[in-house]
Each structure stands twice: as C-alpha cells, then as structure tokens.
C-alpha cells in the first residue's frame, strides 16, 4: 500500500494574529512547537525592546532565524564536501551521516514552514 500524505488544517496564532494552514498531519505538532518558540521569542523581544511594534519583532526574528539556517546549511555543505572525499560508497552510513540526513529533512521542513508563513502574510 502506498504511503499517503494526510493533510490537516491547523490554526496557529503568531504575535496575536491567527493563521490557518494546511499541513501534513505528522508535522502538525512540529508547527505548534515552532509557533510556541516564535511567540516566546517575540515576548522576550517585547520585554527587551518595548518601544517597537510586532512587525519589527517578527522581521528581526525572521532575519535571525534565517541567518541561523543559512549558517547551518553552509556548515552541513562543508561537512558533506569533506566527508564525501573520505567516504567509501559501499560503507554503511555512520550515525553522524544518518543524523545529517535527518537534519537536512528538518531544514527542508523549516523552509516549507517559512514559505507557508510568507504565503499567509501575503494573502492576509
């Protein structure tokens, strides 16, 4: 039997604004956790910089998280390039290589989340 991707609608509140998205059922809990982190980061920024508005906090958060992801991507690429020179194609993946594959999957999902949030912002 084919592995079917089940989509669900979920409502997420970011900085007091409600967003309804269709996501993979298996990713819904991840979205909720990410939203909780985003809202906590915004709350922390509001305490630290009380004279700014929510748009400023969201933009700052987006820039900072994008920078983190970009740096992680560069590090992963550098690691893959160095390890591919030393790897034997017939060997079983090491735990670190398996972790790298999982990390790449997470990065892909985060990119998807960012794209969905950007689309929601454009639609609103």
Domain that holds residue 91: 7-123
Instruction: Please indicate, yes or no, if residue 1 is contained in any of the structural domains.
Output: no
Residue 50 in domain: yes
Q: How high is the pLDDT of residue 91?
A: 59
> 113 lies in a domain?
yes
Contact 58, 42 (CB under 8 A): yes
pLDDT score for 120: 66
What is the reported pLDDT for 1?
Answer: 44
Say if CB 55 and CB 37 are below 8 A apart: no
pLDDT along the chain (124 residues), means of 10: 79 94 94 94 91 89 87 82 62 70 79 74 60
Number of domains in the chain: 1
Residue 2 lies in a domain: no
The answer to the question of residue 110 being in a domain is yes
Q: Is residue 40 part of a domain?
A: yes
Report the C-alpha gap between 34 and 61 in whole angstroms: 12
Tell me the two tokens of residue 103: 């990390």
pTM: 0.60
């Amino acid at each position: 039997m084919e592995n079917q991707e089940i989509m669900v609608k979920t409502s997420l509140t970011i900085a007091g604004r409600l967003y309804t998205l269709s996501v993979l059922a298996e990713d819904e809990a991840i979205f909720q956790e990410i939203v909780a982190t985003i809202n906590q980061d915004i709350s922390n920024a509001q305490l630290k910089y009380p004279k700014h508005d929510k748009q400023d906090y969201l933009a700052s958060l987006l820039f900072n998280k994008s920078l983190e992801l970009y740096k992680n991507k560069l590090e992963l690429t550098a690691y893959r390039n160095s390890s591919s020179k030393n790897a034997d194609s017939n060997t079983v993946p090491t735990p670190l290589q398996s972790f790298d594959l999982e990390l790449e999957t997470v990065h892909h999902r985060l990119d998807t989340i960012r794209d969905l949030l950007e689309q929601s912002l454009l639609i609103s």
